[in-house]
Amino acid sequence: MNAPHYLITGAGGFIGGALAMRLHAAGVKVTGVVRGAPPSSLAQRGVPFLRSTLEDLARETATLAEVTHVVHVAGDPRFGNGPHYRASNVEATEAVVRAARAAPNLQRLLFVSTIGAVDRAADDPCSAPLDEASPLHPTSDYGRSKREAEALVQASGLPFAILRPCMVVGEAMRANSHLAVFAATALHGGLLARLDLPGALSTIHVDDLAAALQCVAEHPEAEGRVFFAAGSPVRLGELFAWAAPHSRRLPVAPFAALLRPVIRWLPFAAKVLLYPALVADDGALRRLGWQPLHTGRAMLEAVIERERRRINPDMAPGGRSVVTGAASGLGRATAMALHARGRRLLLVDRDAEGLALVLPGDPAVERLTCDLSDEAAVANLVATPVWQSGPIDELYACAGFGLRGAASDLSGDRQTAMLRVIVGARLLLSQSLIPQMRARGFGRIVWISSSSAFQPLPQMAMYAAANAALLSLGEAMAYELKGSGVDLHVVCPGGMQTPFQARAGVKEVEGEKLMTPEAVAAAILGGIAKRKTVILVSTRSHAMSLLARLLPRALSVALWGRLMAKMR
């Protein structure tokens, strides 16, 4: 019999990645199937990857000739409704079955389904756990697509097994996924979390699920069978109490008891909140020898802590924090503020000498010198071993410069260099980090813009235009990233006591009250804690934002043109 060789679809995801790392660490040969570049978390561990769509997987004959186990994890895991589930969950499974048929040494095709393929019938009293004999009554298009995919696997004629995980948890789970959302709701003081909800959900840690997948893939008694991977039940009221232990909650169990006679007419979502509707029995799996190592509160602690870090920037994230423009001004002040809060820092600036003077000799501080106006230099920066050596959870992009003068007279090269630093470098650095942030379920990107972003600014036209572009781009990207676990903030400070004015050729106004960079850094962290996408710092910034909305565009340009000519 051939030595095991696993082919794992969705190996770049939460569950598939955990299985790939488990097998690879144990010396089992693994090939992960990915559409694009492999995620850094697995690539750094040397897990081999095959770049292929599922539709083309059957053509990978050389790889399939060695494969003994195909584990199909890929699919759309989000609970909901819509026609897209057919392509992502049914048609994708059809393609994987075709590929499995082309594997001459196949010992097991393992399909990862979901408890959502079962759910409950309308008249089910939700009093007993689900098990493998429970009738299938999926309540969503997601669940129905998984049920259909199960049927495809069962009718394939291949040596198959099916595993139905319940609620899978782990630090890298999606931020908008089931129990992570409940934990965040409690931390935010949401109305739902003010209730001591009696509903319970079977919950399994992703590492225990990876062990269950390997067990079912290899155990001879698993062939041709369906199993639940349930772990242990977690009551929602308990989860709220773990996340926010000092909050008081209204008991709901008596109300739930009163509703039992009319349970058939309750929406399924209400049943989940009030009863153990999504609790399953995984005794069949345990009889194969599998036992979960994570249970109860312990398996959710990492998720709760991650959500605490998301809303509290005073807490250090697990990975590093990058600060650009760190040699002086706001960048330096931000680096110092983060260092005081326990961050591990990666500082970036073109000024190597100035950079060396920031927290010298501290082992928690790394430094990279880079001219962010040079796209090739930025590309080299993100490819350096220092950048790639570990996860980066935060980016504070502070680097920037300004130029005073008529746009028609100033150097075109210098103006485009300014645009590259303020917009281009921020975008490129963010793009290099977002995939790994998404994979970890946590990321914080902070772009420093300016109050000049709110209107055209004669005599500093490119500077204002670049910041306006940055503000617009940041607001749009923040919306695109919602639910991914990556938060993007755009900061618009007013004037600061930094070398910026002198370097840009801007005159200082006598008696002008400029904020210290330290005060601005503190205000940035306060804005993050309030979950603001656009963080306005200083009275000036608020006033300029308001005037931009109230004044006609032509009048605003004329007003600022006169002010810049006389005062700046």
pLDDT digits (tens, 9 = 90+) for 64-90: 999 999 999 998 887 888 888 999 999
Using the predicted structure, report yes or no on whether residue 173 has a pLDDT greater than 80.
yes
Across the range 490-509, mean pLDDT stands at 70
pLDDT above 90 coverage of the chain, percent: 74
Residue 318 has a pLDDT of: 86
If asked whether residues 519 and 399 sit together in one domain, one would say yes
If asked whether residues 327 and 295 sit together in one domain, one would say no
Rounded to a whole number of angstroms, the distance between the first and last alpha carbons of the chain is 80
If asked whether residues 328 and 225 sit together in one domain, one would say no
Residue 1 has a pLDDT of: 60
Using the predicted structure, report yes or no on whether residue 539 has a pLDDT greater than 90.
no
Across the range 236-251, mean pLDDT stands at 94
Across the range 395-400, mean pLDDT stands at 96
- The one-letter code for the residue type at 341 is R
If asked whether residues 301 and 327 sit together in one domain, one would say no
315-326 pLDDT per residue, tens: 999 899 999 999
**Parallel, antiparallel or unpaired: strands 69-72 and 5-9:** parallel
Residue 431 has a pLDDT of: 96
If asked whether residues 260 and 372 sit together in one domain, one would say no
Domain count, the chain: 2
Final residue in a domain of this structure, among 307, 330, 349: 307
Burial letters 458-468, b for 16+ CB under 10 A, else e? bbbbbbbbbbb
- The one-letter code for the residue type at 451 is S
Residue 372 burial by CB count (10 A; 0-12/13-18/19+): exposed, middle or buried? Answer: buried
Residue 5: in which H helix or E strand, if any?
strand 5-9
CATH code of the domain covering residue 398: 3.40.50.720
Residue 555 has a pLDDT of: 84
Final residue in a domain of this structure, among 307, 341, 368: 307
Residue 545 has a pLDDT of: 82
Across the range 375-403, mean pLDDT stands at 94
Minimal CA–CA distance to 131: which of 320, 308, 303, 279?
279
CA gap 85, 568 in Å, rounded: 58
Q: What is the mean pLDDT of the chain?
A: 91
195-238 pLDDT per residue, tens: 999 999 999 999 999 999 999 999 999 999 999 999 999 999 99
Using the predicted structure, report yes or no on whether residue 508 has a pLDDT greater than 90.
no
Across the range 270-289, mean pLDDT stands at 96
Three-class DSSP category at 301: helix
If asked whether residues 258 and 384 sit together in one domain, one would say no
Across the range 167-178, mean pLDDT stands at 89
Residue 501 has a pLDDT of: 63
Q: Give me the domain span that covers residue 389.
A: 312-567
pLDDT above 70 coverage of the chain, percent: 95
CA gap 243, 249 in Å, rounded: 13
Residue 125 has a pLDDT of: 94
328-381 pLDDT per residue, tens: 999 999 999 999 999 999 999 999 999 999 999 999 999 999 999 999 999 999
Residue 215 has a pLDDT of: 97
Minimal CA–CA distance to 14: which of 35, 42, 36, 37?
42
409-446 pLDDT per residue, tens: 999 999 999 999 999 999 999 999 999 899 888 999 99
* Stronger pLDDT, 565 or 266, i.e. the higher one: 266
Residue 67 has a pLDDT of: 96
Using the predicted structure, report yes or no on whether residue 568 has a pLDDT greater than 60.
no
Residue 426 has a pLDDT of: 97
pTM of the full structure: 0.85
If asked whether residues 31 and 64 sit together in one domain, one would say yes
Final residue in a domain of this structure, among 256, 282, 307: 307
226-229: strand order across its sheet: 49-51, 29-34, 5-9, 69-72, 108-112, 160-165, 226-229
Q: Which runs of consecutive H residues, i.e. helices, occur in 14-133?
A: 14-25, 40-43, 61-64, 84-85, 92-101
If asked whether residues 253 and 332 sit together in one domain, one would say no
CA gap 11, 31 in Å, rounded: 8
Residue 511 has a pLDDT of: 55
- The one-letter code for the residue type at 296 is G
Minimal CA–CA distance to 178: which of 80, 313, 75?
80
Across the range 281-300, mean pLDDT stands at 95
If asked whether residues 248 and 279 sit together in one domain, one would say yes
Range name among 97-106, 177-186, 458-467, 500-509 with the lowest pLDDT average:
500-509
Residue 34: in which H helix or E strand, if any?
strand 29-34
If asked whether residues 352 and 243 sit together in one domain, one would say no
If asked whether residues 291 and 143 sit together in one domain, one would say yes
If asked whether residues 317 and 255 sit together in one domain, one would say no
CA gap 452, 540 in Å, rounded: 10
Residue 319 has a pLDDT of: 93
